[in-house]
Structure 1
Amino acid sequence: MNDTAPSPRRQALLASLAGGRPSAPDWFRQALAAAPERSFTEVAGARIETLTWGERGKPGLLFLHGNGAHADWWSFIAPFFSNEYRCTALSWSGMGGSDRRERYSFDIFVEEAMTVAKATGLFDGSAKPVFIGHSFGGFPIIQAAARHGERLGGGIIIDTPIFSPERRRERKEKGAAWVMRPHKIYPTLEDALQRFRLVPAQPCENLFIADFIARTSLTQVETPEESGWTWRFDPYLWRDYEWEDPAPALSAPQCPLAVLLGARSTLMQAGDIARMRSILPTGTPVIDIPEAYHHVPIDQPLALVAALRAVLAGWASASASGENTPMNNGLA
């Protein structure tokens, strides 16, 4: 798929498959075969869906998904790290298989991340855990780095939309905010799959990943009026949500940070990236992932794995040597 293809905003990514599964490469099938242990972690009165790979006692990695997504967005990424790390992925409350809440906040999402990390053994090893978040998942990492950074080995944010308050208002006025209305119930799984879209809209070449994401984003439901398939996230999650400017926390992390960007993402504009760079501590790595749009784990999963490994190796080397380098933001 290329930039001259029909607008992905009008495109049903999986329509041509008619409910069938596309062929997938060996690496993807092997990653999914390394199935996680599935459980729930209680956090502030809600059960949080929790996936884990690897042995307790190894260095910890916590994988955090974006808006409207779920823990299985990492099921084909985390296994690449499970031999050397204890890996955990969670579904935020209101998303995936986690419970819904009456109200949501950055405070509760930070609490979910820290509690799940502790409960699944990410703090058990001698090395401090690293938090990795895509899109919205980067915001709780920024807050955790500022509030609890002395307990973390670092935070890596992937194409997180770090907008100014003015830019966020501008996007909201243009209708970029999610429309809050009840989910439609589709009579069959095939009908639901054909409605799957990526938000923000973009081309997608890896239909085998899009199909996996779509299937794991749906749940079967039955009401007195109808039965069928619908999406596994709270459509009213953002109704009372108060967004915070991430700049204060981003400028004062208490652990190393790194930023990965989709080189072809349209979410962050040049001015947004320049502002972000001016806020970040000096020496914070900002790395483009070539040929990736906003949904980097779908677009360039293997390049993302390589970039994450490079950042983690750099931090581990600096920590082992006790170096006071720009990569670790001056923190020994």
Structure 2
Amino acid sequence: MSRPGAPETREGVPAWFARALAGAPEHRDVVVDGARVHYRAWGEPGRPGLVLVHGGAAHSGWWDHVAPLLGTHRVVALDLSGHGDSGRREVYGTGQWAREVLAVAAAEGLARPVVLGHSMGGWVALTVGVEHGDDVAGVAVIDSPLDRQPPEEQRVRARSLGQRVHADLETAVARFRTLPPQEVYLPHVREHVARGSLRPVEGGWTWKFDPTFSGNRPLVRRLLPRLAAPAALFRCEHGLVTPDMAAEMAALVPGGLPVVDLPEAGHHPMLDQPLALVTAVRTLLAFWPTGSAPSA
């Protein structure tokens, strides 16, 4: 049943979602340290920059229905190496991925963008803020926990999901699950993200990510005190970051860490509460509007 004020298309897809996907991105590539890095871009060139970083085993298409709603900015979302349509490497690390973030921003002419990362992408965003703080207006993380390794990486190491081959596309789409799993997905969002997560191989279809992308990452606890850029945390109500953990995280950041709660959101808010996520990000960008950090 649709809510008042939330019209649907004939196929039962919310009109806002259809409009967002109609704002198709530009697809581009840049070579970083010998590997091709694919990215998507939305919005008018010359606007303030925002770089979106997906989580482990995900890809830039997870932002397809979010990025067009952030129209105050030139938004780019990259496929980290080993993910999506980017090339693969023998070894992956957050430092390497941070350089990919900055290379994509430079290719688009984004001066001191805001970097927003989800889950494992939060580790990447924080690494940007630690190692390249002068190059960004701020970094924000979505539900990256304090004392755990990225949960997607733990699951991939344990189950080797990237090596499964499904006989046909529809079977593969039906098998799509997030890492970690959650109870609620908007079906139209799940369908779109799942289809973009697959590639054809001999014998059928498999996931795009390189199953060897996982590794040991520095704990968020060790990154937060070293931040050299303004930062913010989006906490998902049903995610991995508890209120007590969020308070502890804020205490670790010099100057403090704004924490925004996303109501009813699981660990992957772009899949179950995308409009709440958009509202929160819009609010953050209102304080980081022109590529310069707000004064204390």
Structure 1 residues 168 and 61: alpha-carbon distance in aligned structure 2, compared to 1, 3 A threshold: closer
Taking the aligned partners of 1:181 and 1:29, their CA distance within structure 2 comes to 30
Taking the aligned partners of 2:295 and 2:12, their CA distance within structure 1 comes to 47
Structure 1 residues 23 and 189: alpha-carbon distance in aligned structure 2, compared to 1, 3 A threshold: farther
Taking the aligned partners of 2:158 and 2:232, their CA distance within structure 1 comes to 28
Higher-Rg member (1/2): 1
Instruction: Give the equivalent residue in structure 2 for 1:121.
Output: 109
Query: Any idea what the Cα deviations from partners look like across 1:253-298, whole Å, max 9, x if unmatched?
Result: 2221010011111x23455434323212333211110010100111
TM-superposed CA distance for 1:90, in Å, is 0.3
Structure 1 vs Structure 2 CA RMSD: 2.4
Instruction: Give the equivalent residue in structure 2 for 1:249.
Output: 223
Taking the aligned partners of 1:279 and 1:135, their CA distance within structure 2 comes to 19
Is 2:12 the counterpart of 1:28? no
Which residues of 2 match residues 165-184 of structure 1 at below 5 A? 168=149, 178-180=158-160, 183-184=163-164
TM-superposed CA distance for 1:161, in Å, is 2.3
TM-superposed CA distance for 1:249, in Å, is 2.7
Contact 2:146 2:249 in 1 (8 A): yes
TM-superposed CA distance for 1:34, in Å, is 0.4
Instruction: Give the equivalent residue in structure 1 for 2:237.
Output: 263
Q: Indicate which of 58, 64, 71 corresponds to 1:69.
A: 58
The amino acid of 1:114's aligned partner reads L
Structure 1 residues 281 and 178: alpha-carbon distance in aligned structure 2, compared to 1, 3 A threshold: farther
Taking the aligned partners of 2:162 and 2:180, their CA distance within structure 1 comes to 20
Contact 1:87 1:122 in 2 (8 A): no
Instruction: Give the equivalent residue in structure 1 for 2:69.
Output: 80
Which residues of 2 match residues 14-163 of structure 1 at below 5 A? 23-82=12-71, 84-123=72-111, 128-163=112-147
TM-superposed CA distance for 1:248, in Å, is 3.4
Taking the aligned partners of 1:268 and 1:189, their CA distance within structure 2 comes to 34
TM-superposed CA distance for 1:205, in Å, is 4.1
Taking the aligned partners of 1:230 and 1:175, their CA distance within structure 2 comes to 17
Between the two proteins, the alignment pairs up a number of residues equal to 285
Contact 2:250 2:258 in 1 (8 A): no
Q: Percent identity?
A: 38
The amino acid of 2:38's aligned partner reads E
Contact 2:54 2:117 in 1 (8 A): yes
Contact 2:98 2:125 in 1 (8 A): yes
Taking the aligned partners of 1:323 and 1:121, their CA distance within structure 2 comes to 21
Contact 2:249 2:257 in 1 (8 A): no
Taking the aligned partners of 1:85 and 1:168, their CA distance within structure 2 comes to 31
Instruction: Give the equivalent residue in structure 2 for 1:312.
Output: 285
Query: Any idea what the Cα deviations from partners look like across 1:179-225, whole Å, max 9, x if unmatched?
Result: 33651111111211121112111112411101111111011112xxx
Taking the aligned partners of 2:130 and 2:250, their CA distance within structure 1 comes to 17
Taking the aligned partners of 2:242 and 2:70, their CA distance within structure 1 comes to 31
Taking the aligned partners of 2:263 and 2:38, their CA distance within structure 1 comes to 32
Structure 1, gaps ≥5 residues long: 1-21, 326-332
Instruction: Give the equivalent residue in structure 1 for 2:7.
Output: none
Contact 1:138 1:157 in 2 (8 A): yes
TM-superposed CA distance for 1:54, in Å, is 1.6
Structure 1 residues 309 and 59: alpha-carbon distance in aligned structure 2, compared to 1, 3 A threshold: same
The residue matched to 1:229 in structure 2 has which SS?
Answer: strand
Taking the aligned partners of 1:144 and 1:182, their CA distance within structure 2 comes to 27
Taking the aligned partners of 1:49 and 1:91, their CA distance within structure 2 comes to 6
Instruction: Give the equivalent residue in structure 2 for 1:284.
Output: 257
Contact 2:129 2:136 in 1 (8 A): yes
Taking the aligned partners of 2:38 and 2:237, their CA distance within structure 1 comes to 31
Taking the aligned partners of 2:157 and 2:35, their CA distance within structure 1 comes to 25
Taking the aligned partners of 1:133 and 1:311, their CA distance within structure 2 comes to 14
Contact 2:149 2:216 in 1 (8 A): no
TM-superposed CA distance for 1:168, in Å, is 4.8
Contact 2:246 2:259 in 1 (8 A): no
The amino acid of 1:187's aligned partner reads A
Contact 1:141 1:155 in 2 (8 A): yes
Instruction: Give the equivalent residue in structure 2 for 1:14.
Output: none
